[in-house]
Amino acid sequence: MAACDDTAKAVDQEASEEAREMEADMDQAARDTEQAMDNAERAAEQAAEDVEREVDEADKALADEIREE
């Protein structure tokens, strides 16, 4: 009976350990996902600013060209 109890305790400890490891992995994956989303948001904001700047430059160039004519 003691051997069964020892085996059950060992299995329970191993399962608990694996559960903790899985939880830690999931937490890390959540942090990685959040970081990736933040990076993507910053990249999208930068791209929007770049496009806006390019449009402004094109508008200015067109206005200059029209004035020269």
- State pLDDT tens for residues 10-27: 888 999 999 999 999 999
pLDDT in tens, 25-67: 999 999 999 999 999 999 999 999 999 999 999 999 999 989 8
Position 10 scores a pLDDT of 87
Rounded to the nearest 5 degrees, what angle is found at the Cα of 18, between the Cα atoms of 25 and 20? 55
**CA–CA dist 64, 10 (Å, integer):** 80
Measure the CA–CA gap between 49 and 42, rounded to whole angstroms.
11
If you search the block for the tokens 């200059």, which residue do you land on? Answer: 64
What was the pLDDT predicted at 4? Answer: 79
pTM above 0.85, yes or no: no
